[in-house]
Structure 1
Amino acid sequence: MHNDTGNPAFQLGERLRGWRERRGLSQMALALQAEVSTRHLSFVETGRAQPGRELILRLAEELEIPLRERNVLLATAGFAPVFEQRPFDDPYFDPVRAIIGITLERHRPFPAFVIDRHWNVVRTNGGVPELYEGIDASLLEAPTNVVRLMLHPLGMAPRVQRLAAWRSHFIVQMRRQFDLTADPGLGSLLKEALAWPGGMAPIDESTGGPAMTLDIDTRIGRLSFISAITVFGSPVDVTLQEIALEVMHPANAFTDATVRAAAAARAEVRPAR
C-alpha cells in the first residue's frame, strides 16, 4: 500500500500511532480500552479509515493525550477544536487569577510563582529577592525560566548545595513531563539543561520527588526551602491544564526568621508613596 504523507487521514493515523507507542500500548490493548476493533484501529493508524470526532476523542482520552494535542488531532481530521485555548489574561480566568493573586500575596515574604508548560514564570510575588542577586541579567529577562534560573552556570547553580542532586531532580521531572506531552519546546529545554555543567546524582524516583529541600547560599545566609506545587487541571481548557502554582516554604527556623527579618528591613527603607 502506498502511504500518502500529505493525506490528512494518514497524518492523523501517524500521530495516533506515535502516541500509542509512546504510552507503550499494543493495538489490541488500546482497541480493548477504547471499545473499537483492532482491525478498525489498524486502518485508522495507516490512514485507510477516517475516524469520526467521537472516536478521536475516545482514543485521545485512553492515551491521556494533552488537550492542546487533542485539538491538533481534531483539526487534522477536519473537525473544529473542542478545547478552549484562551490567553491567561482573558476575563474568563478572572476567578482563577483572583485565587492565585490571593495565594501569592498571602505567601509573602516567601517565594511563590506560577509557571507554564515550559517552566516560564507567568506570575510571581517577588519573595526573597536575595535569591536572584548575582544572576546574569539575560536570565532575568522575560519570560524568566525557572530551569535556567536554577541550573544555568550563570544563574543560581553556583550557590545551590547538592547541585548534582538538584539537577537530577529537575531532569527527572522534565523527562516525565516530556514523556507525557511530547512537547518540542520542553524537549529543547531538556536538551539545553543536560548540556550545562554541575554533575548528576543517580536519577531515581526519590530524587525527582516533590519534597526535595533547596539549600542555597545568599547574602543573608544559607536558606532552605521546600516547595509545594498545585496544578489547575481542567477537562475543557488547555491553558489551565498547562500552568502550575509553586509555593516555597521555609524548611527550618533560621530560614523563616531570616527571610522575615530581611523583608521587614526592606519595608522600613521603602520610600513612602
Structure 2
Amino acid sequence: MNISGNTVFIPGATSGIGLALALRLQELGNTVVIGGRRTGLLEQLAAEHPGLSTVTIDTADPGSITRAAQQVLTEHPDLDVLVAMAGIMRTEDWTTPEGFLATAEETVQTNLLGPIRLIAAFVEHLRTRPDATIVTVSSGLAYTPLAVTPSYNATKAAIHVLSESLRLQLAGTSVRVLELVPPSVRTALLPGQEENEHAMPLQDFVEEVVTLIETQPEATQVLVENVLPLRWSEARGVYAETVAMINQTDPHGR
C-alpha cells in the first residue's frame, strides 16, 4: 500500500484509531472519506478538518452498508483503499446464561459480519483499480486472549483467518490485503482504557503504523512493537505466561 496519493474510505472513523488514522492519512496527501452513524458528529468533523469527506453508515446494518457504498463510489470513483475499521469491544460473563448471549451476538454482527459486508460491497470496484488495498483490523487478542472479552477475541481471530484467505483468493489481482493488528491502545473501546497505563498512546500507535506501511510495502500485517508479545506468544513458546500476564495486568486491553 502506498502511504500517499490514495482515496481511502474508513467506516467507524469518528473516534479512536479510525479517526486518528484518517487524519494522519489526510495529512500525508490522501483523499479520505470517513463513515459513522452520527450525522451531527460527521458534520462537525468535516467542519473541523477541511477536505475530509463523510458518509453516514451503520456497519451493523446491511442496508446502510449498501447505501453508503453507493454514495462513496458515486462521489469517489477513484476509491482504491478500504479500511474495515468499525468494531466494538464488550465484556461478557459466560458463567451465567443471561450474561453474554446478546452481547456476543452484537459483537459478531459488528466485528465480523460488518467487515464481511463492507468487503463484499467494495471488492468488485477495487478489482477495477490498478493498485488497491483492503485493510482489515484484527487485534493482538486474536492470538493471545483476554478472559473478559471472549466474543471480541473470537471475532478478531476470525478476521485474521479471513484476511489470510482473502489474500489467497485475490492473489494475481490488483487488490492487496493488509491486516492491521493493534495492541491495547488508549481509546474509549472499553471503559477506562483511555487512562490505561499499559495501553499504547494513540498518536504513537498511528505514527508507528504509518512508518511500517511506508517502510515495509510488501508486508501482509502491520505489527507495531507493542503487539509483538501477543502476536508471537505461541510461536515463541510463552503462550501460557503471556495469557497470564495480560489478564493480570491489563484487564481492559485490546
TM-score between both structures, scaled by the size of structure 1: 0.24
TM-score between both structures, scaled by the size of structure 2: 0.25
